[in-house]
Structure 1
């Protein structure tokens, strides 16, 4: 009995060692097996899925498409000067739509159109158009002049489905000269003035014509945007402008989009829509204590919180008696429109995003670069200052001024204002435009237009909405719309011009008009005067008393 114990002990030790060895082997093989399984799951292997092999569309996920040498050669040999800016491929492989003809069916509601007055080239106009096509806009009324009216630009625009090009011809000007707007008072303060005032009147007259064309095309909503502005339908399902307007109650006539202003971080921006992601939020989308508490730092020595306007843009429901109310709003001859202001969606305004914008705006205006004369030409203080600098300074001085006033180079300040909510990052437009460019949508449009122009010699009027379609016998339909229902002595409130966001002087006006109880609360506010600016920090006071825009 005693002699059998060592044998039993040895066998137990051997069994334990065997179990340990097997356990280690299992632990070693398990991760290797999982790794091999994961590799098999993600392995593309060069095999074609039999389902997609016979698919007529053959859409691939982003990043899976192959770039053949022939496509590269085609792009490299393209004769268009816009190739570098507008894309690197002719392959239409953007995965979110079946085709880029955008043949929206009649069952898609609501039908949205955008109207604009522009002199921009293809490098700006094409990304602007196709971005808004992605958003759900089906029709564009482009009133073109300058570069936009040149044959190399306008003929490309005419070939895009849903785009109607209207030239500023003598015939158009004669029709607009008969508009009822000239006999009304709401726009009269802007008549017969140069530069921005002249543009403001042109925009209003063009908007009036666009309303007529929108009704004829069966549109439900109309929006006036400049080609340096993008709709940002935040809060809408699928990031869709159509879905956003579909959810608007039926009794709402006008939807206001507060504007955000681009905050460029470099002075060498070439493609603002695909290079800028930082924006300054609108007063309407900020708590009032945050807005006024960070006003000085957000302004950075400029005249106002925004460089230019701060009163947003709007969409109007197409209905009887609709008229423009300046470039930013719409109105109705027979009623006060029921309007709503969106809490999340906005218009992204790319303000002076390129250094060359200083000189290009200067070249479009013939005013004298003096403080008095620029008041006749520009409505906003920053535009006046920019015009004077661009007209009087050297290239080096202009660049220094541009970096100091427009470019956000202070990363610490940027981070602080991002944390406060004054600044925000918005990547969706950048990603969409980049993807459109990378997949060759823009260059394909140019190439298609060149083929059409080479095969059709007399195509100067193809795809153009002639101004003669608006009205008969030289009379504008806008003028003929139930004029007899409007009394001769009817007076309307003045058109809404581009307005700066509220400044600290408005806080002082509020302080003068509040009652004693609110004044006692207001005394808790810390107001510091420093270098002509107020540094205001509100501790929750006066938020309900501050003006709404």
Structure 2
């Protein structure tokens, strides 16, 4: 089974090389990296990797003749997710020419995790998928923000949030975030990033992106899909990444491609970083006091108790060690 990845990145030098080396160690044959307005040293950091194709985001004019991509070509200037979908479609065409079987579309702060406790390669993982399946939806686990600074989060971090919400509101876990624009605190779920997962596309099945998380057939019909494996999301994992991430979002609109409003927590954090007038030092303090989980909070989450006696199912935190094993056993000094 031949597997490739596609990433659209902006200013991800800190994560990018380790991301690509991890997926290569799991058996990714090729990785397509599209740079979307990058101004850091990300291109130079991976230019020596012979299994990587580097290019800038696709011009919408390349595919404006395809009416089924009009949602993306018409909004590519405003929405980075439209450009990301075009890049994924472009990589699909490359995969067809190369004879690739599966293409996984990710961000630089995301890793495919076929198994949480042992190393399983990507070809081995996709070999288990029934032949009629066109899309594999990888379910999200979000890294627990519990340190102000981390050197290599992929190799060091093992604690992940399991679910954004529970059926019972009494079980839900929240954080209080300061809103410097109102002087008030706002309550948000302890899960900050995307909850919809990411997808792996079987090549040659007339499948196109619906958005960055979901896919459909060219004729608009639903795809045949399964949920399997995980995508680990290292979202705003330390203070520096928090500042970088929301600096990248400075010009992002308040709505998604669909027209739906962006989540209020993302809009708040975008504006905290870009419009509050806080210095870098003050933003690091904001991360520590608002987004980061203290030792006391981590201990409480690991104990998994609510209303003093009851336990949540699933537990709010899961230890995932397979990624760490890949870095220890397969990725040497690169």
The answer to whether TM tops 0.5 is yes
Aligned counterpart, 1:162 = 51
Answer yes or no: is 1:375 the counterpart of 2:223: no
The answer to which structure has the higher strand fraction is: 2
1:328 is paired with a residue whose SS is coil
1:258 is paired with a residue whose SS is strand
Instruction: Find the structure with the greater CA-based Rg.
Output: 1
| CA–CA separation in structure 2 for the residues paired with 1:262 and 1:235 | 13
1:267 is paired with a residue whose SS is coil
The answer to which structure has the higher helix fraction is: 1
Long gaps (5+) in structure 1: 1-109, 368-372, 443-549
TM alignment of 1:318-467, pairs within 5 A:
318-334=203-219, 335-342=221-228, 345-367=229-251, 375=254, 379-391=262-274, 392=276, 393-395=278-280, 397-409=282-294, 410-417=297-304, 420=312, 421-434=315-328, 439-440=332-333, 442=334
Q: Is the contact between residue 175 and residue 291 of structure 2 (CA under 8 Å) also seen in structure 1?
A: no
User: Deviation of residue 162 (structure 1)?
Assistant: 2.0
CA RMSD of aligned residues (A): 3.0
Aligned counterpart, 1:225 = 106
What CA deviation, in whole Å up to 9, does each residue of 1:373-392 have, x standing for no partner? 96258822222111222131
Judged with a 3 Å threshold, the aligned counterparts in structure 2 of structure 1 residues 282 and 181 are, in CA distance, closer, same or farther, namely farther
Judged with a 3 Å threshold, the aligned counterparts in structure 2 of structure 1 residues 160 and 423 are, in CA distance, closer, same or farther, namely same
Aligned counterpart, 1:251 = 132
What CA deviation, in whole Å up to 9, does each residue of 1:271-304 have, x standing for no partner? 2212221100136xx9x55x75421xx2223433
What CA deviation, in whole Å up to 9, does each residue of 1:141-170 have, x standing for no partner? 11124447x7x64355343232111234xx
1:294 to 171, 174, 177: 171
Q: Is the contact between residue 207 and residue 215 of structure 2 (CA under 8 Å) also seen in structure 1?
A: yes
2:130 is paired with a residue whose SS is coil
Aligned counterpart, 1:63 = none
Aligned counterpart, 2:196 = 311
Aligned counterpart, 1:279 = 160
| CA–CA separation in structure 2 for the residues paired with 1:404 and 1:181 | 48
TM-score (norm 1): 0.51
1:303 is paired with a residue whose SS is strand
Aligned residues: 308
Long gaps (5+) in structure 2: 177-186, 306-310
